[in-house]
Amino acid sequence: MNWLSNLARPGLKKSKPEEEKRETPDNLWIKCPTTGDLIFRSDLEASNWVTPAGFHMRIGPDTRFRQMFDNGRWTLVPLPKVPTDPLKFRDDKKYSDRLKAYRAKLNRDDCMSAAYGAVNGQRAVLLVQDFDFMGGSLGMAAGEAFITAAQTAVKRKCGMVCFTASGGARMQEGILSLMQMPRTTLAIQELRESRLPYIVVLTDPTTGGVTASYAMLGDVHIAEPGALIGFAGPRVIEQTIRQKLPEGFQRSEYLLDKGMVDMVVDRRQLKDVVSQILSILTPAAAAASAEPENDEAQPQPEAEAKPASRSGAKRAAQDKKKPQQKAAE
Amino acid sequence: MRTYLDFEKSIAEIEAKIEELQALAESSDALEMGVELSRLKTKSERMLQDIYAKLDPWQKTAVARHPERPRFRDFVASLVTDFVELSGDRTYGEDPAVLGGLGKFLGRPSVLLGHEKGRTTAERLKHNFGMARPEGYRKAVRLMDMADTFQLPVISFVDTAGAYPGIGAEERGQAEAIARSTERCLTLGVPMVSVITGEGGSGGALAIAAANAVMMLEHAVYSVISPEAGASILFKDSGRAKDMAHAMKITAQDLIGLKVIDSIIKEPLGGAHRAPERAISTVGAAVAQALDGLKDLSPDALRAQRRERFYAIGRLENDAA
């Protein structure tokens, strides 16, 4: 603001502090997006990436699994392969190249990860959508993952919990991404037919075709505090009605007020709330086959734990700067 | 006065000439004029044929949005007798962007649903240009519930740019309304046939198109997002909508290969708007045929058929070849 800060010292390049942080994924201190306070990294990890001010940072599948499953033990559900780039889509980059880059960066085929295990003793399949993978956009891989997760839950006679985080449909897959809306909806019917609970945990952000399908069809809807949840993205609405949107519009608390979610739950209480619901909605099925499958859950190797939390830090640091990707209606 | 699209300029010129000659021929009886007239008519027809045989996706989008294209009300007026329009979602309000009711579709008692864009400016405003709010989809659910109760097939006509993105729509749960409507289509124990007649815009279209049989008019388009909106997101330039229309594969001819639609309904030469009555009766015949093919299936078989149909889309084993 003052003249001093505008003055670039010779030989030194001006750089934005956020960008600097982005390049140091291992940094010890992480800035709270709301207060700007610096938080010790291990403190953040201990509080499941919720800052002292209550801001819920975005987390990926590994961090989520570790938080939700008992003793950090879970079994990954293998997800089916899908055709790559059937439309041969390109914008300024080829979609297949874009995919390759994300796969290399996140060491995962697409945005969904599914795992089976126990949540406070309640067996469940958890499906986690990673916003870092192309904005968590819903394409064929995500749709197929959803179907597989639901069918795994049916096979194992347990509930399914889906953690949503997505800008919406993956436009690079055109109509095939739209078709994931009825496809995932059909998978939910399989759970319903087997009388198995389907719980949705809406995390920041959940918009577009994801909200307009499986995110809004849960038996119970839980939202993490402050998450952006809506059909049309705020930018699209602003452009359509040419009006500034009210404060708090499309945030979790707003959706609670409007009757679209059952509760807004702090991440640190999430495990208890989810297991409570599961225990009431799946008593018969859970009792039927609780024991034999327990030993299938493998402890996750330590090696996997580290990059996961690192990506959590990076994610958190990038949160403010990251453009909202691919909001499709 | 006919509305001509950008790429129809040459046809507009010839047709203007034809009209002029026709007016002249009425006042004088020159034989020559008759010869010239029929020559011009053949020529314009050939031009139409040429242009419409190779419409690109962006041109098709323009045809699909043509202001004179048959609308829900036109289809109902020609194909449905004893139509009783039903209104309201019984929860909040009435949304004229989605219309529905009971009637006899070519003699078959049915539930009809469809987007209505309206034609005159007043109508368009009233129907919100066919962009539905949650109440429209909740009305659709209500009508599908009735169809299940009274064992009536559901026929839907899809023509929307998309669901309306507004504060009120969000407030009242646009996403939930769309999700529930899609779900209701899929759980129906009665046959459902959908026709994409113009624009199939994203979730707002799909919400009433998750059917046993999905058909598309020859020049209709169906896409995950409008080319303009898609271009503004991916290219950061809504002016590149044409490129987006090409890249997204939105035409009936593309979508049949992807198994997203089951059949293409041929349009009269030069698009449905040039001979609406003919277009409508072709649609009627195609829908009737689809309904007849589904009428002996049990409720469970109908649900299973829908499940298989949608699960098969994009599956790897189908792409093996």
Nearest to A216 among B179, B201, B235 (CB): B179
Which residues in chain A come in under a pLDDT of 50?
A: 1-24, 290-297, 299, 301-314, 316-329
B42 and B136 inside one domain: no
| Chain-chain contact of B173 with A147 (C-beta, under 8 angstroms) | no
Cα(B114)–Cα(B151) distance, integer angstroms: 19
CA distance A219 to chain B (A): 12
B50 and B142 inside one domain: no
Q: Is residue B190 part of a domain?
A: yes
Structural domain boundaries, residue B87: 61-319
Chain B hits for A143, Cβ within 8 Å: 314
Q: Is residue B83 part of a domain?
A: yes
B108 and B207 inside one domain: yes
| pLDDT at residue A288, rounded to an integer | 52
Cβ-Cβ pairs closer than 8 A, A with B, add up to: 181
B96 and B20 inside one domain: no
Would you say B157 and B113 are in contact if contact means Cβ atoms under 8 Å apart?
yes
Q: Is residue B225 part of a domain?
A: yes
| pLDDT at residue A26, rounded to an integer | 61
DSSP-derived pairing of the beta strands A75-76 and A112-119: antiparallel
Closest Cα in chain A to B320 = A83
Instruction: Evaluate the omega torsion of the peptide bond into residue B276 and state whether it is cis, within 30 degrees of 0.
Output: no
Cα(B250)–Cα(A140) distance, integer angstroms: 17
Q: Is residue B96 part of a domain?
A: yes
pLDDT level of residue B264 (50, 70, 90 thresholds): very high
Closest Cα in chain A to B171 = A258
**Per-residue model confidence as pLDDT tens digits over A50-104:** 999 999 999 999 999 999 999 999 999 999 999 999 999 988 889 999 999 999 9
If you average pLDDT over residues B4-18, what whole number do you get?
A: 91
| pLDDT at residue B164, rounded to an integer | 95
Nearest to A231 among B163, B187, B316 (CB): B163
Both tokens of residue B258?
């992807």
pLDDT level of residue B37 (50, 70, 90 thresholds): confident
Could you tell me if residue A73 is left (phi over 0), alpha (psi between -120 and 50 degrees) or otherwise beta?
A: beta
Lowest mean pLDDT among A280-294, B244-258, B262-276: A280-294
Lowest mean pLDDT among A227-241, B19-33, B246-260: B19-33
Angle formed by the axes of helices A61-68 and A302-318, to 10°? 120
**Per-residue model confidence as pLDDT tens digits over B296-313:** 999 999 999 999 999 999
Q: Assess A175–B contact: CB distance below 8 Å, yes or no.
A: yes
B239 and B169 inside one domain: yes
Long-range contact set of residues B94-97: C-beta below 8 Å, sequence gap at least 24? B94/B135, B94/B139, B95/B128, B95/B132, B95/B133, B95/B134, B95/B135, B95/B136, B95/B139, B96/B126, B96/B127, B96/B128, B97/B127, B97/B128, B97/B129, B97/B130, B97/B131, B97/B132, B97/B133, B97/B136, B97/B160, B97/B164
3-state secondary structure of A326: coil
B277 and B202 inside one domain: yes
**Per-residue model confidence as pLDDT tens digits over B69-96:** 999 999 999 999 999 999 999 999 999 9
B40 and B79 inside one domain: no
H-helix or E-strand spanning residue B104? strand B98-105
B interface test, pick of A84, A154, A181, A260 with most B CB neighbours within 10 Å: A181
DSSP-derived pairing of the beta strands A198-206 and A38-40: unpaired
CA distance B78 to chain A (A): 31
| Chain-chain contact of A326 with B233 (C-beta, under 8 angstroms) | yes
Cα(B255)–Cα(B314) distance, integer angstroms: 11
**Per-residue model confidence as pLDDT tens digits over B189-247:** 999 999 999 999 999 999 999 999 999 999 999 999 999 999 988 888 888 999 999 99
Please report, as a single letter, which amino acid is at residue A143.
G
B112 and B35 inside one domain: no
Q: Assess A185–B contact: CB distance below 8 Å, yes or no.
A: yes
| pLDDT at residue A24, rounded to an integer | 41
B115 and B225 inside one domain: yes
Nearest to A81 among B202, B307, B316 (CB): B316
Torsion of CA A304, A309, A314, A317, to 10 degrees: 170
Nearest to B206 among A91, A92, A182 (CB): A182
A interface test, pick of B156, B180, B225 with most A CB neighbours within 10 Å: B225
Q: Among all chains, which residue has been given the structure tokens 């027809």?
A: B45
Chain B hits for A327, Cβ within 8 Å: 233
B109 and B40 inside one domain: no
H-helix or E-strand spanning residue B98? strand B98-105
Q: Which residues pair with A124 in a beta bridge?
A: A117, A159
B169 and B227 inside one domain: yes
B83 and B200 inside one domain: yes
Q: Is residue B1 part of a domain?
A: no
CATH number at residue B129: 3.90.226.10
| Chain-chain contact of B175 with A215 (C-beta, under 8 angstroms) | yes
| pLDDT at residue B30, rounded to an integer | 67
Cα(B303)–Cα(A70) distance, integer angstroms: 38
Q: Assess A83–B contact: CB distance below 8 Å, yes or no.
A: yes
Tally of domains in chain B: 2
Cα(B170)–Cα(B33) distance, integer angstroms: 61
CA distance B122 to chain A (A): 19
| Chain-chain contact of A186 with B172 (C-beta, under 8 angstroms) | no
